[in-house]
């Protein structure tokens, strides 16, 4: 999976690609187009499709979430603009307004760090210390 964290207009994510409990490489998980940032967490192919949809201008609905292995529905596509967070997960969009946000396999660790004042990048770094599916470099978008 991954760890994505957001606070004060800053989006951060790890780059580790994990498949079947093995580190398989790296992948950029967050992108920006104009003032809007996008992120995806979950199955690598679905995440790539969501980012491609975003970068191509968000025409129509995002790609549908499909069952990953073992019936895992833990796929999120997210759009961030100011204090508004839109999350795409079957069956549709959810709007979240919160002072900070995290998702992915390291979200519990990141949320704890954010609750204690950590920046988005610091929250991802905290998750890297405890979540085996979070690692690599940290990408940060301001």
Find out if CATH 3.60.20.10 is the number for domain 3-141.
yes
pLDDT digit string, tens, across residues 38-68: 999 888 888 899 999 999 999 998 987 665 5
CB 58 within 8 A of CB 93: no
Whether the predicted pLDDT of 37 surpasses 80: yes
Whether the predicted pLDDT of 69 surpasses 60: no
pLDDT of amino acid 45: 84
User: What residue segments make up the domains of the chain, in order of their start?
Assistant: 3-141
Q: What are phi and psi of 126, to 5 degrees?
A: -65, -40
Go through the chain and tell me how many residues it has. Answer: 142
pLDDT digit string, tens, across residues 95-118: 999 999 999 999 999 999 999 999
């Amino acid at each position: 999976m991954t760890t994505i964290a957001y606070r004060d207009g800053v989006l951060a994510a790890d780059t580790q690609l994990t498949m079947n409990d093995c580190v398989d490489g790296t992948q950029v998980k967050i992108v920006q187009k104009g003032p809007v940032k996008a992120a995806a967490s979950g199955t690598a192919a679905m995440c790539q499709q969501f980012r491609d949809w975003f970068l191509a201008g968000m025409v129509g609905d995002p790609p549908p979430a499909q069952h990953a292995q073992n019936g895992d529905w833990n796929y999120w596509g997210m759009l961030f603009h100011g204090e508004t967070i839109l999350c795409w997960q079957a069956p549709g969009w959810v709007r979240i307004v919160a002072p900070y946000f995290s998702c992915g396999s390291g979200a519990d660790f990141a949320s704890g760090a954010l609750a204690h004042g950590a920046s988005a990048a610091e929250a991802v770094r905290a998750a890297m210390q405890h979540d085996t599916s979070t690692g690599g470099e940290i990408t940060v978008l301001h």
